[in-house]
Amino acid sequence: MITKFTRRAALTAIVAAGMVAGTAMPSFAADMEFTLATSGSESDQRSAAMAEVFAPMIASFADYKPGYNGTLFAQGTELEAISRGNLTMSIASAQELAQFFPEFSIFATGYVHQDAAHQVRVFNNPLMDPFKQKVEDELGVKLLSVMYLGRRHVNLRQTREEVNVRTPADLKGINLRMPGTDAWQFLGAALGASPTPLAFSEVYTALSTGAVDGQDNPLPTVVDKKFYEVTKQIAMTAHLVDLNYIAFSKATWDSLSADQKMTVQRAADAAAAYGRLKQLDKENSLADFIRSQGVEIYTPDLAAFRTHVQAQYVGSEAAASWPEGVLEEINALGN
């Protein structure tokens, strides 16, 4: 806790300095450069949406410069880079934000969001305002829009004969790669597995060598990163309807004219909406292809997973950070 607090206080100071620098920039700048860092690939739907929709919409005043596969900044370091003024944008997760603001773990909790539309209703609801404001004030990052990554499932190297996943008890001892933050590790343990933190860029190799037993991601990611080549089964746990935020430098934002701000906001919303539709489409159509590659896909006992995962959060340190009543508000926005 002390580390987090110290880190946050330091960042607040950095941001304050950055914002002063930001306001000194000319608001009419015609040749700005918006750099974006993501650990996703170029063909990932979120990357494609940014390149195909966001970039042309802001082209009259800014060049869009994306860096894929964690090449500009390593996974999990992007928000700090924006905060320090070294990066304009990222495709940020709630789990990354929870490292600075533990209450963001509520959006990273298993079986909370129900679907893509629910994510949008939650993001646009006034309940999000204090969350967004805090990120802006203390990290110097504006959360422009919510992107859909999809339903995460458990994807293992073992055949179903070796490991048949019906309930969380069947994941006991399974070395499951999860991204490297507390919120992700908690979710992996809540599923009943033994979570191992690993950067996204390392997952394929770790699966192929057997350094880990499995990973969790939505079907489009399994195809995009060819995880089907090195795994044998997917248990459709749907334990997290995963999202990302389009994160934007507050210092750069403050340097834009009112028209430019409106254009950036519209471009982010349009890219998120476009990417969401594409991702939903892929999610609904990729199972046959994955099966044709020799990967068995099946649905475990979802009620058992939901009950077990939710029970792990009750009384947890993460849940203690959630503002009173917000979980109920999120649930009320569901179907």
Residues that bind ligand KDO (CB under 6 A): 38-40, 44, 91, 93, 149, 179, 200, 217, 221, 244
Q: Tell me the CA distances in angstroms from 27 to 32, 56, 127, 260, one per residue in order.
A: 10, 20, 31, 9
Comparing CB distances to ligand KDO, the nearer of 44 and 269 is 44
Q: How far is the CB of 73 from ligand KDO (least distance, A)?
A: 12
Comparing CB distances to ligand KDO, the nearer of 123 and 200 is 200
Phi and psi at residue 325, in whole multiples of 5°?
85, -10
Comparing CB distances to ligand KDO, the nearer of 53 and 149 is 149
Comparing CB distances to ligand KDO, the nearer of 103 and 216 is 216
Comparing CB distances to ligand KDO, the nearer of 192 and 220 is 220
Side chain identity at 231, as an amino acid letter?
Answer: T
Cβ-proximal residues to 262 (8 Å cutoff; 6+ apart), any chain: none
Q: How far is the CB of 27 from ligand KDO (least distance, A)?
A: 31
Lookup result for tokens 């539709």: 277
Lookup result for tokens 């994807």: 155
Q: Could you tell me if 256 and 324 are in contact, meaning their C-beta atoms sit under 8 angstroms apart?
A: no
Following CA atoms 181, 187, 188, 193 in sequence, which dihedral angle do they give, to the nearest 10 degrees? 150
Q: How far is the CB of 201 from ligand KDO (least distance, A)?
A: 9
Q: How far is the CB of 277 from ligand KDO (least distance, A)?
A: 18
Cβ-proximal residues to 88 (8 Å cutoff; 6+ apart), any chain: 33, 34, 35, 36, 82, 248, 249, 252
Q: How far is the CB of 139 from ligand KDO (least distance, A)?
A: 17
